[in-house]
Amino acid sequence: MTQATYNGVLNLAAGAFLLAAVLIVWRRELRAIVVLLAWQGIALAAIPVTEGIYQDDAALITVGVVVLLLRAVALPLLLIRAVGTEPQERRESTPLVNTTASLMITAALTVLAYAVTRPIIALDPSPATRAVPAAFAVILIAVFVMVSRRHAVSQAVGFMMLDNGIAATAFLITAGVPLIVELGASLDVMFAVLVLGLLTGHMRRTFGGTDLDQLRELRG
């Protein structure tokens, strides 16, 4: 792979990664945002695979394939099951911030991400590091999604987006953390999403829905 192709593919992956996050902010349909999350998982997996091919590093390509299976297939499937079948449950009904304002905030967060990541780029101005602002923007957008959405599935999507952003940062700046940490972290994330999935099920049985506005017993 030539330097130019490598740069191109890397930037394309980082761009698609950020675009998926923006589209998740835009859409309200729960099923649609889970599908977008799967697309984001593919863009994420493309980063280590591209780096692996460029540096002739088979281990990195393997990690990329595992990321693809976990974040683009397994976890989104789990969430799709949690979305449920009743039609009135499939939409985010009462968002705290309307779509236009959400998109404006997303733009502001992206600018903020560029400002925050300047020391990282200054330390190592390589093509991969230059894509880090996109990953940081996804992290900030994910936190925004988690505080502004009131549906259990949306919050779970926000959490996974946050993890995708952190994983992307790790792949871009250090070509991934040591294998033992990577494995442990992936396991933890998988279990956390499993727990959230199970809790959604419990919630539907106990509250008759998964709108988090019903969680208001514990105060003060």
Partner 1 sequence: MSFLLLVPIVAPLAAAALALVLGWRRLTSSVTVLAALSILVSAAALGFNRGSGVRFAIANLFRADALSITMLIIIGTVGTLATWASIGYIDAELTHGHTDRKGANLYGVLVPIFLAAMASAVLANNIGVMWVAIEATTVATAFLVGHRRTRAALEATWKYVVICSVGIALAFLGTVLLYFASLHAGASSGDALNIDILLAHASQLDPAVTRLAAGLLLLGYGAKAGLVPFHTWLADAHSQAPAPVSALMSGVLLSVAFYALLRVKSVVDLAVGTGFLRIGLIIVGLLTLLIAASLLVVQTDFKRMLAYSSMENMGLVAVAAAAGTKLAIAALLLHVLAHGIAKTLVFLGSGQLQAARDSTRISDVTGVLARSRMIGITFLVGLAILLGLPPFAMFASELSISRALAAAGLGWVLGAALLFVVIAFAALVRNGSRMLLSPPDAGSAAIAVPRSVAAALVTGVILSLVLGLTAGPLLELFQTAATLLGGTQ
Q: Which residues bind partner 1 (CB under 8 A)?
A: 116, 119-120, 122-124, 139, 143, 146, 152, 155, 159, 162-163, 166, 169-170, 173-174, 177-178, 180-181, 184-185, 187-188, 191-192, 195-196, 199, 202-203, 206-207, 212, 215-218, 220
Task: Give the burial class of 177: count Cβ atoms within 10 A of its Cβ; 0-12 exposed, 13-18 middle, 19 or more buried.
Answer: middle
Of 87 and 219, nearer to partner 1 (C-beta) is: 219
- The nearest distance, CB 136 to partner 1, in angstroms, is 9
- The nearest distance, CB 41 to partner 1, in angstroms, is 16
Of 54 and 159, nearer to partner 1 (C-beta) is: 159
Of 106 and 169, nearer to partner 1 (C-beta) is: 169
Per-residue b or e along 17-33, where b marks 16 or more CB atoms closer than 10 Å to that residue's CB: bbbbbbbbbebbebeeb
| Residue 101, CB-side half-sphere exposure with 13 Å CA sphere | 7
Of 10 and 203, nearer to partner 1 (C-beta) is: 203
Residue type for 43, please?
A
- The nearest distance, CB 71 to partner 1, in angstroms, is 14
- The nearest distance, CB 166 to partner 1, in angstroms, is 5
Tell me the torsion sign for CA atoms 206, 207, 209, 213.
Answer: negative
Query: CA-CA distances (angstroms) from residue 36 to 42, 65, 76, 101, 111?
Result: 10, 19, 9, 20, 22
